[in-house]
Amino acid sequence: MNKVFNTATACIALFLLAMLFFSCQKGLSADPVIVVPPAADTTVNANHDTTTQNIPPPDTTSYYISFKANGDLKEYRAFNRVNFFSVPGSPLYSCHVEGQLNLRQSSNDISLYINDVDSIAANIEYTDKQIDSTAQATIAYYDDNGNQFASVVLKQQAIVKIKITAITATYVSGIFSGSAETVDGISGIVMPNIYDITEGVFKVKRL
């Protein structure tokens, strides 16, 4: 009697172990459940109008300064900014727009300066005419080799034109052109001596 009972018990135990084994195998072979988050909505509002809205798209990668230097396209995205200020004791309001290809100083850098007796505003074309003994608009440029060029060396022959197209709480955009001559008279002859800056456009972060 005990022998029969032991045999039945052993069979039941083997059956339970077999069921447990196959159950584990099924759990291991099942495909894992992957939860995919919903895709972000990248739809751009085609009706976005920067003339009526002061909040730009929150895409900081869109800040840039682009122009041609003697026909060669330059586009600076590493560091771009604009700053409005006034110098104590001076009757002028000033604006400084700057762009750099990388964070190296004195290489691949361009600066636009505006000075005026009135607050700097959008949709006004600023030129290199004299305002209170200084040029109203100037361009300073460091080329690939670190040579410095400035429109003030050419004076009014530089034909500088800078126009801000939008001023918001976070960015400023605009267009510019002009010429800049080398200011490096120590290291010898710099070639080229003059850069013609054309097709300039910018959208920079406001500090």
Cis status of the peptide bond prior to 192, with omega within 30 of 0:
yes
Range of the domain at 146: 62-206
Spell out the alpha helix ranges (H) of 116-205.
151-154
Q: Is 19 within the bounds of a domain?
A: no
CA separation for the pair 31, 84 (Å, rounded): 60
User: 79-86 and 93-100: which strand pairing?
Assistant: antiparallel
> Distances from the Cα of 7 to the Cαs of 14, 18, 21, 159, in angstroms?
11, 17, 21, 107
In a domain, 23, yes or no: no
Q: Is 103 among the domain residues?
A: yes
Residue 185 domain-assigned (yes or no): yes
E strands in 1-92: 64-69, 72-76, 79-86
Digitized pLDDT (tens) for each residue of the chain, 207 residues in all: 444 434 444 444 444 434 434 444 444 344 443 333 334 343 333 333 333 344 444 344 689 999 999 999 999 998 999 999 998 889 999 999 999 998 766 789 999 999 999 999 999 999 999 998 899 999 999 999 889 999 999 987 899 999 999 999 999 999 999 999 998 754 556 678 899 999 999 999 998
197 occurs within a structural domain: yes
Task: Report CA torsion sign: 135, 78, 62, 84.
Answer: negative
| Domains of the chain: total | 1
Does residue 181 lie within any of the structural domains? yes
Q: What are phi and psi of 14, to 5 degrees?
A: -65, -40
Residue 70, in any domain of the structure: yes
**For residue 13, is it within any domain?**
no
